[in-house]
Structure 1
Amino acid sequence: MDMKWLEWAKQIQAIAQTGLTYAKDIYDIERYEELRRISIDILANHTSVNKEKIALTFASDSGYATPKVDIRGVVFRESKILLVREKIDGAWALPGGWGDIGLSPSEVAVKEMKEESGFDVLPIRLLAVLDKKFHDHPPEPYHVYKMFIQCEIVGGKAETGVETSAVEFFSLDELPELSSERNTVEQVKTMFEFLDQPDKRVILD
């Protein structure tokens, strides 16, 4: 399916948001507001989401437009990888979520791991920084960078959280259905490469 309309909507929204941040002339402000309305119209005409919700979730930010950051913790035990089952879709994912203001990437990984799996972890190293647009994720209205941080369990026990319904370790040949919005099969397979190759270089994009 051709999703160029989604890329155009995201680009127009980013131009409008950044323009509204710096524009001083009233006519320029009106033009950027019109661009933002166009980006909302594009999404509304190609999806079933109403304009009010799109305006609130997609076109309500202010300041210079930047990508969102999704941080995932990667934990291995006995050659198996830790995954949690997401309540929202019933599929499995590496523990993680959006970066939080005031927390470093490592601190987010620790927080998300505790909240979603029950384990206390120590961040060890950055494994990958991936641009979501280059990977086989479902389309979405945001431009997202994904950070994968390897962690070591130092305490706690397997416990589900508000957003998760199960916590388990899986070997490479027994991976369950993955939550493709959060991580792809290829990404999880790539994480296993770091287990087999401790000196593997950080992956970018």
Structure 2
Amino acid sequence: MEPKWLEWAKQIQAIAQAGLTYSKDVYDLERFQELRKLSAEILSEYTGTDMQTVTELFANETGYATPKVDVRGVVFREGKLLLVRENLDGCWSLPGGWADIGLSPAEVAVKEVREESGYEVEPVRLLAVCDKKFYPHPPSPYHVYKIFILCELVGGEALTGTETSEVGFFGENELPELSVERNTESQVRMMFEYARHPEWPAYLDGIGGEAK
């Protein structure tokens, strides 16, 4: 699903970042710096984003380049799925966000559900690990793994957070406009499939489960 220019730009950026981290030769460092600049130019050209912003967001990390991890809490109540309206785009998503240093994925899911929806939950099991590149998300400078964790509702009440403006439970046939930067329709429908099939093993793109 991911456009080739974005795949190439991210690969060039990763090579440049690793080279700048581990190379000792001054001439190699210059070449890796030029590669990093080239990757940023590709992203700027195709997205219409100014170079300064691209450089700050895309080419500012050090060390060996690794994927970012996005964790989503999956909470059902009477067959309906918990979604929150995002302030950034006014659309709806599963509560969640970037994984935090020092917290396990399960702890992140509980934290994000509480902060974005007001509900208290307990993690039950891993549902899916998805690579963002296989789904129709908007182009992103980061390579992202998305982790979906089923959680049981144990308390709290609907309360918006600093990043959300509305909280609600939705049936599979009444989904609102989704924030596709955060979750696609196919991913959300996969969660309903797993609710109907608790015996399925955790889904990994192309391996395990029946959902797609």
State the TM bucket, normalised to the shorter chain: over 0.9
Q: Deviations over 1:94-136 (max 9, x none)?
A: 0000111111101111111011000111111000000011112
Deviation of the 1:2 alpha carbon: 8.7
For residues 2 and 53 of structure 2, what CA distance do their matches in structure 1 show?
Answer: 24
Match in the other structure for 2:56: 56
Q: Note the 1:62-141 alignment, pairs <5 A.
A: 62-141=62-141
Any idea what SS the aligned residue of 2:31 has?
Answer: helix
In structure 1, what is the equivalent of residue 13 of structure 2?
Answer: 13
Normalised by the length of structure 1, the TM-score is 0.97
TM-align CA RMSD: 1.3
Measure the CA separation in 2 of the matches of 1:184 and 1:52.
29
Could you tell me how far apart the structure 2 residues matched to 1:188 and 1:2 are? 19
Task: Give the residue type in structure 1 aligned to 2:92.
Answer: W
Shift of 1:26: 1.2
Residue type matched to 1:72 in 2? R
CA distance in 2, matches of 1:165, 1:46: 31
Partner of 2:3: 3
Q: Distance in 2 between matches of 1:202 and 1:107?
A: 18
CA–CA separation in structure 2 for the residues paired with 1:28 and 1:2? 30
Partner of residue 191, structure 1:
191
For 1:62, the aligned partner's letter is T
Partner residue of 2:208?
Answer: none
5+ unaligned residues in a row in structure 2: which ranges? 206-212
Look up the SS of the partner of 2:124 in the other structure: strand
User: Match of 1:11, SS?
Assistant: helix
Aligned counterparts of 1:184 and 1:47: Cα–Cα separation in 2? 20
* Letter of the 1:56 counterpart: E
Residue 179 of structure 1 is matched in structure 2 by 179
Normalised TM-score (structure 2): 0.93
- The aligned length equals 205
Instruction: Give 1:142's aligned amino acid.
Output: Y
Name the SS of the counterpart of 1:75 in structure 2. Answer: strand
Output the CA distance in 2 between the equivalents of 1:134 and 1:16.
24
- Does 1:151 find its partner at 2:151? yes
Regions of 4+ moved over 4 Å: none
> Amino acid of the residue matched to residue 76 of structure 2?
F
Aligned-pair CA distance for 1:140: 1.2
In the alignment, the residues of structure 1 paired with residue 82 and residue 44 of structure 2 have an alpha-carbon distance, to the nearest angstrom, of 38
Letter of the structure 2 residue corresponding to residue 78 of structure 1: E
Moved more, 47-56 or 174-183: 47-56
Q: What's the CA shift for 1:84? A: 0.4
Aligned equivalents of 1:197, 1:118: Cα separation in 2: 27
What does the per-residue CA deviation read over 1:63-122, in whole Å, with 9 as the maximum and x for residues that have no partner? 100011110000001011000011111111000001111111011111110110001111
